[in-house]
Structure 1
Amino acid sequence: MSKERRIIAYRKAAEAMCRGEFTQDIPVTGNDEISHLGKSLRKLSTHLQQQYHKNQLLSKITLESNLNLCISDVLNHIYESFNKFIPYDRMSLALLENEGNTLKLHWVRADYQTLKLCTGYTIPMSDNNLKEIIDTEKSFIINDLESYLESHPESDSARVLFEEEIRSSLACPLIATGKPIGFIFLSSRKSNTYKNLHQELFLQIASQLAVIVEKSKLYKKAKINKQLIEHKKELEQRVTHDALTGLLNRTAIFDIFHKQIARAKRGGFSIAVIMIDIDHFKEVNDSYGHLTGDVVLCEIADRLLGSARSHEHLGRFGGEEFLAILSPCNKDGALKAAERFRTAIACKEVYAENEFIPVTISLGISVSTELDTLDKNILLRKADEALYMAKNNGRNCVEIAMDSKNK
């Protein structure tokens, strides 16, 4: 390609970038100064495209909050969106309490199951360097947690994270209207994970999250006092939860189902539905009575709920059937979750009325594979068919629908 044609191509590429059109189709031939310019334009196009994508994701945080979604929905959006730019295996949100003397974990999500530092865990501000982070309003990197523990043996939270096989951590303060309100943490199971380039993006995420958290807190203070909150929760519990098991009732789990389908369509990810049925439950009622049957139902509900993750929603579908909505979730994730539920029930007998009663469950899975399969009726029908297969295959097992499309 001639010198003149290359210069014209580079000019067009630069003009396209100004319009927000980023392309790698920039010709580079030869080894002269003009060719070096072409290589630089390619790098610039890649960099601008990444920055554009980051800005889009940041703007989606604001959009999610403006749609009046709860904090956990915004955090799930962050967790699902930013791992292309910042590596992490775990993310958590902790808020200051007790006049700033205590830090309490309010939300945790990880891509592994052995969580030890869980929601509700409290950390004294004297436990580590968090006070210094708040004072400087800067993020803090630990890239060798083992060495950090050697120099800070009093840090209980660092010790528990190390037991989770975490080796690197990035902590960022949440500052709203000039006042510290908490922290957001990213953690990795690899050493030397975090670089200075990760801090800038993380600070931008934290600044937006701090505004959302503070807005939520101010709204609660302005609208309702403690007694009204408790009364509201009691009413919500009655309206949305099953009176016997305490799980979400059919109406409430279907409401979540509809919302997660809409969210999946916006975000372009798949969701999974798991239909769960207690094996031979009629025999339990016939042999031990309906009161004992109720105890068995409640115990199974408690075990299912105790083994569920933050993005897994459980409800009572009816009788001895339960429904789980997993969003976002692919086939592998659904199979792991279903097996986790099955094991939680089969691992030990249920003790009721001085009897140890062996109980198992069968599970049927359907997963949305394409946009047109993000449909409540299709997913439920396929999950029910898979559950029927599990029953026919001897019970106490998991089956997955081969295809969630309506054939």
Structure 2
Amino acid sequence: MTYDTIILGAGAAGMMCAAHCGGRVLVIDHAKAPGEKIRISGGGRCNFTNMYAAPDNFLSQNTHFCKSALARYTQWDFIDLVNRHDIAWHEKTLGQLFCDGSSKQIIAILLTEMERAGAELWVQTSLRSLRKSDAGFALEVEREGQRHSLTCNNLVLATGGKSIPKMGATGLAYDIAQQFGLRLTNTRAGLVPFTFSDGKFKDLSGVSLPARLSNDRTGFDEALLFTHRGLSGPSVLQLSSYWREGEAIRVNLIPDLPLYDLLRDQRQASGRKDLSTELARHLPGRLVDYLGQQLLLSGKLADQSDTKLAELTKALSDWHLVPSGTEGYRTAEVTLGGIDTDDLSSKTMEAKEIPGLYAIGEAVDVTGWLGGYNFQWAWSSGHAAGTAIAGD
């Protein structure tokens, strides 16, 4: 069975690519259904892009690589596609766009676009062997207990990274890339919660508040969530992509609160009030109880000198913590690193030394922030490869 293009992976990038390739196209995936990561994303409503998506929102060893694809298929292009399919959507926060209904609507859009393009889809199909042939690539796959020999001119690696292995994620794209001589950058879990081996926050599990998390590289102002394993929430997930083992992080629990001035004013107006009671007006009560043990909070407001109030404010705005690690690929939303962009064309996503071999989406060393950016990279890189193949 001969195809013009075979795409390995029926995720966001793979299906987007299939919709634009032209010719005879086959998409293969080992899962029971296409778009499984799309289905579970955004609490089932899919944060399908971000209004503010730009190259600065992506991490890569080569920070310039993503610019071409993102410029040629933007968030507005995908929003237009969603609108053309009459899917209602809304902005949740910080430019994050979600379906009003179900994430399955995004999968339906992609399947419809694939059908219009004449692309075939084989799910529950396993790759058994792959080699370079004179005409392109030769594959052996197994589907419904039957072996099939396939050939194609173009092969697209769209199998994603290692994140969430319980959903079938593997390092297949990396193995194939190395088979054909493409280099890899170091991979690690990204957009992932921090863990603390001493269980130091188990009593705070479920407490959430706005916070600023930072390190020497960057910082993020979003919600912080304490868990029985450690720290989670958007600010934590964002910072995790910029964190390395053994490094300290800084937590500001009062990023937009002039707490020093507020406490001084209350000391003047209600000096007999307990310090912890006043703090509980501005911070979750369980957190105040926890910090009361850590910071030895006690006494009335009237007992607190300006120096003590300044020290307290400093402690709450510059809390230094050293995570023992992260929850790893098990819960990571993305995989950082991947196929080295130096071996790929930024315009077409084609391997520079292997004509007809393409890599797109999460498999490539381009990782977006939390908030729809990684889906936008899937759409943009899939479009780049698909239109390049169509133009061949």
TM value normalised by structure 2: 0.25
Between 1 and 2, higher relative CO (CA 8 Å, sep ≥ 6) is seen in 2
Greater percentage in strand:
2
